[in-house]
Amino acid sequence: MLTDFLTRLADLIGYVNTYVEFVLLLFAFTAGLLFFTIPYIRPLRRLLGPLGLSFSEITRVLWACNKSPRKLIRIYIELAIFHTGGLHQNPSFWRKFLRTFKRFIDDNGETGTYIARVETCFDVASAEFNELVSAYFEFFKQNKASDKFAIPADEPLSFIIQTEINEGFIVPITFITGLNDRYDEDWEKILGNYFTAFGEEQPPETAILPEELYFTYNWLMWGPSYQIKYAPQKNKLIQYGFGDESNSVNIVLKTDEVGDSLWEKICHEGHETGDKKFGYNCMVRGRLVDSSEYYNFKREEMDLRAMPFLKRLSAPSLGISFLMELEHYEIKHSLKADNYFFSAYLWIMFALVDTTNPGFTPRKSVTFFEHANLADTTNYHFLANSLVDKCIRHFRYIAEHPEYRKRKYQLCLSMNTFIESLFLKRLQEIRQEEPQGWFSTNLATDTPFSISEILDTFDNYFVTQESDFEIMGVQAGNKEGIRHLCNFYADTYLEEFEKLPSALSLDRMFALMRKPSAECSFHISLALKEQMGVIGGATALYLPASKCGVIDSIAVAQNYRNNGTGKRLVDHALQMLRQDALEKNGKGLKFLLARVPYESDQASLRKFRFWANNGFLHLPENTKQSYNGWAVHMLTDETPASLPKGEIEKAIREYERLTSEAMT
C-alpha cells in the first residue's frame, strides 16, 4: 500500500511539474510576445485608441502588419488619420477600415508608392486633423520610437504615404501669423491689446489715430500673406488653398524639375494679364513633413528670405503641424478652373514718422487692405487699384485736416511689388501735379525697414503684452539700472563667461557706456521678473563706421532658459541698435553680428543653434585663436551667397578695437 501511495504521489508531482512547466512556458511565450509587440502596440493605442480603436482590433492590425511591422504600422496610422480626420469612430468603422487598409497595401504592393487622396484642403485643414498629425510626429520623434521604426535621425520626420489634393489654387504667397491664431480667438485679449495702444497722450503729429490702428489690427486679425522675392536656386515656401488663404496648405517647392517648372508658371509677378496668372488651379501631391523640425533640418536648403515665415509656421502655438514637400502637380484646364475662387488680402503698409522713436512701431503703422479673388485676374486688378484709391483718400484727409497736416508717413511694405508699383505710379502723378504739396514733402517711399524687422517687431510687441517679465535698458546715470546690472553680472554673466579670456569685465562695460556716441553706442538689456529680480541680460554695440550692430553677449539664468527669454533679449538689443542706425544714418542696420565665445565643440554647437533659431548664419572661419566664433543676420532680403565678407571682417576689426580700447 505504501508503495502504491508513493507511486501515485510521484505521478501527481509529475503532473503538477508538467502543468507548472506549461504555465511557465506559456508565461514566457506571452512575455516574449509582449516584449516584441508592445513597441508596435503603443503607437496604435496612443494615437488611435482615443478615436475608438479597441485592443482586440489592434491585435488584428498587428497580424495584418506582421510581414513588415516597422513600415506597415506607420502606414496604417497615417491612412487612419486621413479616413477619420482626427474624429472618434465606432467599432464597425474600424472593422471596415482594416479591410480598406489591406486593399490599400495589396493595390500598391509592399514597395510601391502609397497615396492618400483627398478632394480639397478642407480635408486636411481642420484642427482635429492637425492635432492628430502633430501627435503622430511627436510620438515617432521620441528616441525609442525612432529606433524601433527605423526613422532617420538626420531628416525631418515625414509621412510614408504621399498626400494628393485634387482641388486647390496654388499662389506664390506665404502666410503671416494672425492675431486670431496667436490668441486662439480669445477676443478679450485681442481687444484688450488694442485698447492699451491709446494710453499715452501725444501731440497730433505723432498721436495714434483709432481709424489707422483699426486698419492694421483688422488686417492682422485673420492672418494675411506676403509674396517673397525668391532667388531661383533655393527651395521656396508658397501656399496652396481652397476658398480662402486661411484654408491653405504650406507647400515647399524644391529646386528640382517639378518645383522649378511650377515656379516658372507662377513667378511672373506683375504680369497677371494675358496668359500669365497670379496662380493656378491644380492637383498637388507630396509628402507631409513635420513643420516643427523642418526649420532646423532644411535651413540650408531654403531661401533665406523664407526663414522668418518658416520659423513662425514651426511655432506650436500656431497649430500648423505639417508642411508639404511637392512631388507632383497637374494644372487643370476647365470651366470650373476658370471660375475658381481663392480670396486673400491685398495690402500695403505705412508707418507714422516719429523722430523721438525712429524704429518701427506696430501701433503707429497703418495698413490698408482689400479682400480680393486672386483666381480672377480682373477682380485682382480692380481691387488692387481700389486699394491705391483708399490709400490716397486717407492721406488726402490727413493733408487737408488742420490738426494732422504736419504728420509724416513712410511706405514700409506691401503684399507684392505689383501693388507697390501701382501706388508709386499714382503717387508720382500727384507729385507732378503738386510738386510742393503734402504728398511730396510728407510721404516718403524709401523705407528703412525690412520684412524681417517688421515681422520681428510685431512678434515682440504682442509677446511683450503677454509676458510675465519685462525687458529694461540700462543707462549710465540710472542707479537702479546699475544695481540690476551688478546683480546680473555677479549671478548670471560670470557663470556663463568668467572662464573665457574674451569676457567683458564690469569695468569695461562701464567704460563702453561712457564712450561718445560718435565712437560707438553700448547697450545693456536686462530681463526682470517680479519678485525674482534679474533673470538674464544681453550686451550690444552699434558700430558707426561699419553701420552695423554686434550682440556681444547674452546670458540667461539656468531656470529660465528655453522659455523665450533669450529671444526677447535679442529683440530688445536689436531694437536699440536699429534706433542707433536710424538716428545716425537715417537708414537701417546693414547687418547684425553675434559673438559666440568658443568653449568646446559641443557647447559652441549649442550656442550656434540658438543663434540659428533666431535667423543668424554661422560664419565658418576658424576663430578659435581669438576665442570667438561669429554669426551674422543680414536683416534684409539678402541671400547667404551675397554675404559682404569684406564688410563683415571690417566690422569685426572695429568691434575688437573698441572693446580692447575700453580695457585701457
Give the start-end residues of each E strand in 60-194: 115-118, 158-165, 169-171, 174-175
635 and 592 Cβ atoms separated by less than 8 Å: yes
Handedness of CA 544, 546, 548, 552 (dihedral sign): negative
Angle between helices 69-84 and 2-43 (to 10 degrees): 60
Distance of CA 633 to the CA centre of its chain: 16
Which three cell numbers, joined as nine digits, stand for 333?
Answer: 484646364
Rounded to whole angstroms, the Cα distance separating 478 from 148 reads 58
Which three cell numbers, joined as nine digits, stand for 531?
Answer: 519678485
Helix (H) / strand (E) element for 463: namely helix 451-466
463 and 568 Cβ atoms separated by less than 8 Å: yes
Rounded to whole angstroms, the Cα distance separating 323 from 552 reads 35
Neighbours of 243 (CB within 10 A): 17
259 and 127 Cβ atoms separated by less than 8 Å: no
Task: Give residues with Cβ within 8 angstroms of 355, minimum separation 6.
Answer: none
For residue 123, the model assigns a pLDDT of 85
Rounded to whole angstroms, the Cα distance separating 302 from 230 reads 10
Burial class (CB in 10 A: 0-12, 13-18, 19+), 207: middle
Distance of CA 403 to the CA centre of its chain: 41
Burial 210-236 (b: 16+ CB within 10 A, else e): eebbebbbebbeebbbbbbebbeebbb
Rounded to whole angstroms, the Cα distance separating 543 from 126 reads 49
Rounded to whole angstroms, the Cα distance separating 532 from 197 reads 28
- The CATH T-level fold of domain 469-661 is Aminopeptidase (3.40.630)
Q: Which of 267, 349, 252 is CA-nearest to residue 310?
A: 252
SS3 20: helix
Residue with cell 510576445: 33
Task: Give residues with Cβ within 8 angstroms of 200, minimum separation 6.
Answer: none
Which three cell numbers, joined as nine digits, stand for 433?
Answer: 501735379
Q: Which of 367, 358, 354 is CA-nearest to residue 394?
A: 367
Rounded to whole angstroms, the Cα distance separating 124 from 86 reads 10
For residue 24, the model assigns a pLDDT of 44
Q: For residue 108, what is the DSSP state?
A: H
SS3 533: strand
For residue 35, the model assigns a pLDDT of 42
Burial 10-27 (b: 16+ CB within 10 A, else e): eeeeeeeeeeeeeeeeee
For residue 7, the model assigns a pLDDT of 63
Rounded to whole angstroms, the Cα distance separating 496 from 488 reads 11
Residue with cell 501735379: 433
Q: Which of 613, 607, 583, 584 is CA-nearest to residue 595?
A: 607
Give the ranges where 268-376 is alpha helix by DSSP (H).
Answer: 291-297, 307-313, 335-338
For residue 5, the model assigns a pLDDT of 56
Helix (H) / strand (E) element for 650: namely helix 645-661
Q: What is the largest CA-CA distance in the chain?
A: 133
Rounded to whole angstroms, the Cα distance separating 565 from 547 reads 27
For residue 223, the model assigns a pLDDT of 73
Rounded to whole angstroms, the Cα distance separating 500 from 498 reads 6
Rounded to whole angstroms, the Cα distance separating 592 from 577 reads 9
Backbone torsions φ then ψ of 620, nearest 5 degrees? -75, -10
Please give the CATH architecture assigned to the domain spanning 113-177+224-340: Beta Barrel (2.40)
**Domains of the chain by residue range:** 113-177+224-340, 201-222+343-444, 469-661
Rg (CA), the chain: 30
581 and 589 Cβ atoms separated by less than 8 Å: yes
Q: Which of 554, 544, 641, 621 is CA-nearest to residue 594?
A: 554
Pairing of strands 174-175, 280-290: unpaired
Rounded to whole angstroms, the Cα distance separating 386 from 370 reads 8
Q: Which residues of the chain have pLDDT under 50?
A: 22, 24-25, 27-36, 180, 269-275, 622-627, 639-641
Residue type, 572: H
Task: Give residues with Cβ within 8 angstroms of 197, minimum separation 6.
Answer: 208, 213, 363
595 and 550 Cβ atoms separated by less than 8 Å: yes
158 and 325 Cβ atoms separated by less than 8 Å: yes
Q: Model-level pTM?
A: 0.75
Burial 565-599 (b: 16+ CB within 10 A, else e): bbbbbbbbbbbbbbbbbbeeeeebbbbbbbbbbbb
For residue 214, the model assigns a pLDDT of 85
For residue 4, the model assigns a pLDDT of 62
For residue 451, the model assigns a pLDDT of 76
SS3 29: helix
Give the start-end residues of each E strand in 156-275: 158-165, 169-171, 174-175, 225-226, 236-253
